[in-house]
């Protein structure tokens, strides 16, 4: 029987300015990979740098968590973009985290799209490929973190990128393998035993 390894990851640095969301001090103690918001849906340079420092102290890998330019809606609003613009939007956010990580001598290892961007790219081949091209251009060794079975996973493999297949332990799934919309009651699993 083939063994499967799991890498617990969490989205981090998802506050902005004086507003902190989540417990960025405690989370790095229980995960192996931190997905750092890069300033468009959340996160600012000080918060990003602080999370990089905490993750580094705990031996946690750092990844970019790019989203749509949508602070007001926390990156959960779908935005139809020209594919070249989407590619550059992703490249810019990866580059921002790489710059802050280099201040601490840390390498960015992976990219996990956020919110509406993640949901759209899971089912839209063109969006998934645009994200993948950005990864490949910036650093072909970046791991494309993709919803298992999604267009992102297919795009990453087509582009020759390393791919990590992601599943959410705190979310329900639709029959097609995509995440159930948060608008539907019960989409979020709040019972730790159910999530386990």
Q: pLDDT tens, 99-130?
A: 999 999 999 999 999 989 999 999 999 999 99
Q: Which two tokens stand for residue 113?
A: 């799209």
Q: Mean pLDDT across the stretch 7-20?
A: 80
CA-atom Rg of the chain in angstroms: 16
Mean pLDDT, range 2-9, rounded to an integer: 70
Indicate the pLDDT class of residue 2, thresholds 50, 70 and 90. low
Bridge pairing between strands 9-12 and 61-65: unpaired
pTM metric for this prediction: 0.86
Please tell me which residue, 66 or 23, carries the higher pLDDT value. Answer: 66
Residue 3's pLDDT is 59
Give per-residue burial for 147-158: e unless 16+ CB within 10 Å, then b: beebbbbbbbee
pLDDT at residue 16 in the model: 82
- At 168 the pLDDT is 66
pLDDT in the model for residue 167: 73
Give the tokens for residue 117. 């961007």
Q: Give me the mean pLDDT over the 22-50 stretch.
A: 89
Tally of CA atoms within 13 A in the half-sphere of 169 that contains its CB: 11
Res 176 pLDDT > 80: no
Distance between CA atoms of residues 62 and 52, nearest Å: 7
Domains and CATH numbers, the chain: 9-195 (3.20.20.370)
Question: pLDDT at position 9, please?
Answer: 77
Q: Model confidence over 132-144: pLDDT tens digits?
A: 999 999 999 999 9
Torsion of CA 122, 127, 129, 130, to 10 degrees: -140
Residue 173's pLDDT is what? 65
3-state secondary structure (DSSP) of residue 134: helix
- The mean pLDDT value for 149-159 works out to 96
Residues contacting 76, CB < 8 A, separation 6+: 41, 70, 115, 116, 182
Does residue 4 surpass a pLDDT of 70? no
């Amino acid at each position: 029987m083939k063994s499967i390894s799991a890498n617990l990851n969490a989205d981090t640095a998802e506050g902005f300015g004086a507003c902190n969301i989540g417990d960025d001090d405690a989370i790095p103690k229980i995960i192996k990979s931190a997905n750092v918001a890069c300033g468009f849906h959340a996160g600012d340079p000080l918060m990003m740098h602080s999370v990089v420092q905490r993750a580094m102290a705990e031996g946690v890998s750092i990844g970019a968590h790019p989203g749509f330019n949508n602070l007001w809606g926390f990156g959960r609003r779908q935005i139809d973009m020209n594919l070249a613009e989407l590619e550059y939007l992703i490249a810019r956010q990866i580059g921002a985290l790489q710059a802050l990580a280099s201040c601490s001598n840390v390498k960015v290892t992976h990219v996990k799209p956020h919110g509406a961007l993640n949901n759209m790219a899971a089912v839209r081949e063109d969006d998934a490929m645009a994200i993948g091209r950005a990864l490949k251009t910036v650093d072909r060794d970046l791991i494309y973190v993709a919803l298992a079975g999604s267009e992102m996973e297919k795009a990453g493999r087509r582009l020759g990128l390393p791919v990590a297949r992601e599943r959410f332990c705190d979310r329900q799934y639709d029959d097609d393998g995509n995440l159930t919309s948060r608008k539907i009651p019960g989409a979020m699993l709040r019972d730790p035993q159910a999530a386990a």
